[in-house]
Structure 1
Amino acid sequence: MNTTTTRVGWRPEGTVYGALLNFRHEMDLWAPRMNEAPYKAPPKAPVLYVKTANTFTPSGQPIALPAGASVEVAASLGLVMGAGGVAGVVLFNDVAIAHESYYRPPVKTRCVDGFLGLGPECVPLDRLGGLDALRDLEIELHRNGVHKQTTRLADWVRDAATLLTDVREFMSLRPGDVLMTGTDCLPEGGRELVHAGDSVEIIAPGFQSVVHHFVAEELT
């Protein structure tokens, strides 16, 4: 696959990683607790998690919500690796069961079936003006047609280039892998909650919108 080509119905071909605590507001909210046990210091390297292949849900397809779970959504920008570095960029709707342990979120909260809404295309990086230009992007999240959040990438703790450099100090990223650059929280520290019947749209200049409808999980 040529990852620099825009594709409708795009799907990851490698591992998808997400970065935690990569927005300044959330880092500021957590700062008073970072010196507490068991960590006793802020993280020095990027804190990552994995979104497994069972979570991938193309734009336009429904996402099922487990019964009784409090589920949150957030917009994220993903860097798609090519043979020579970042080849393209994708919008994501990162879905998770709300939880308190943000340093080490349990896999079961983030890797529920269907819990990564995929953007419909991989936009070539050069079309967006390169890595440095990504900081100028603003991503809007709408629920049921109402604007709920604007994520400003100027508020990254580590910009795209710095995040890539720091991650590569302890692991390799191969062609087809995706590095999501983090999600921002709402002013009070949480993320937008969704319920069965809700529709979420994520919008950013230069990208096709990412749209997902949420439905109740069918019990068997």
Structure 2
Amino acid sequence: MKHGRIYLNGSIVAVTQAEDGRVRLPSGQLLDEAACHWLAPVQVGTVFALGLNYADHARELAFKAPEVPLVFLKGPNTITGHRARTLRPQDATYMHYECELAVVIGKTCRNVAKEDALAHVAGYSVANDYAIRDYLENFYRPNLRVKNRDGCTPLGPWMVDAADVPNPQALELTTRINGQTTQRGTTADMIFDVASLIAYLSSFMTLSPGDVILTGTPEGLADVKAGDTVETEIEGIGCLVNTIASDATLLNIA
């Protein structure tokens, strides 16, 4: 099942996807997806983000693939929903998307063995973890201005139950800018797969329900400009739509 959250009549409402692709309210009423005010599909806890977790992406950036997971943290301010706007700084010369499989933890876990790790997953979603390349000082330690900007990480629209994703390492990822395909890859090419990441993180800290692991992006990055519509899609999970706006026009955004 696909679960989501929208803001409706002053309240946060849990919704599911109907068979025809529309949004089903708890009452059974159906709404068009485009008419909804989308939130991230879960209330996120700690957000872990992976860098250089696809060998082709590491080569694209002329970096050696990491020998252990390259992980950094993101604040809750970074997360926004489906069909939201993300700001491009006025001084940016290169801002790119990152289509990523998002793993939502469903059970508290500590020191989980790799073979047991997937049993602790609630479900999967789509993330688009934008980066402003101008601000990047070191791919191994991206600074706050690169990865912790307000609304820089759309998540959603749905979380798909883990039981409905039998193999998270066999999913196609695609990104389109204004309808043109610019990135295509597969989760089979992850250097550290989902189970390995859960085992690694839980070896030194407790993972809790609502924690989210962003598992990295394959090669095929491209610059995005104000006015662009960006679609990041993962096979069987969903298509996350986001638009780029210039921060010059949204200086008073809350």
**TM-score category by the smaller chain?**
0.7 to 0.9
Q: Which segments of 5 or more consecutive residues in structure 1 lack a partner in the other structure?
A: 32-41
- The one-letter amino acid of 1:195's match is K
Equivalent-residue separation in structure 1 for 2:107 and 2:99 (angstroms): 26
Equivalent-residue separation in structure 1 for 2:170 and 2:44 (angstroms): 27
**Match 1:156 to one of 190, 207, 211:** 190
Quote the offset at 1:43 in angstroms.
Answer: 4.7
> Is the counterpart of residue 111 in structure 1 residue 148 in structure 2?
yes
Equivalent residue, structure 2, for 1:200: 230
**Match 1:74 to one of 95, 98, 111:** 98
Asked which structure has the greater CA Rg, the reply is 2
**Match 1:30 to one of 38, 47, 63:** 63
Equivalent-residue separation in structure 1 for 2:2 and 2:206 (angstroms): 23
Equivalent-residue separation in structure 2 for 1:25 and 1:43 (angstroms): 12
Equivalent residue, structure 1, for 2:27: none
Equivalent-residue separation in structure 2 for 1:21 and 1:158 (angstroms): 10
Equivalent-residue separation in structure 2 for 1:5 and 1:147 (angstroms): 25
**Match 1:128 to one of 165, 173, 197:** 165
Helix, strand or coil: the match of 1:134? coil
Is the Cα–Cα contact under 8 Å of residues 49 and 213 in structure 2 kept in the other structure? yes
Quote the offset at 1:72 in angstroms.
Answer: 1.1
Equivalent-residue separation in structure 1 for 2:251 and 2:4 (angstroms): 34
Equivalent-residue separation in structure 1 for 2:232 and 2:162 (angstroms): 19
Helix, strand or coil: the match of 1:30? coil
Q: CA RMSD in A?
A: 1.8
Q: Deviations over 1:71-107 (max 9, x none)?
A: 1111001110112611110100111111251011101
Relative to structure 1, is the Cα distance of residues 205 and 26 closer, same or farther in structure 2, using a 3 angstrom cutoff? closer
Relative to structure 1, is the Cα distance of residues 119 and 83 closer, same or farther in structure 2, using a 3 angstrom cutoff? same
Quote the offset at 1:213 in angstroms.
Answer: 0.7
Is the Cα–Cα contact under 8 Å of residues 124 and 237 in structure 2 kept in the other structure? no
Q: Which of the pair has the greater relative contact order for Cα pairs under 8 Å at 6+ separation? A: 1
Equivalent-residue separation in structure 2 for 1:219 and 1:167 (angstroms): 37
Equivalent residue, structure 2, for 1:19: 50
Q: How does 1:70-109 map to 2 (within 5 A)?
A: 70-83=94-107, 85-98=120-133, 99-109=136-146
Identity of aligned residues (%): 31
Equivalent-residue separation in structure 2 for 1:160 and 1:13 (angstroms): 18
Equivalent residue, structure 2, for 1:64: 87
Equivalent-residue separation in structure 1 for 2:138 and 2:251 (angstroms): 28
Aligned length: 200
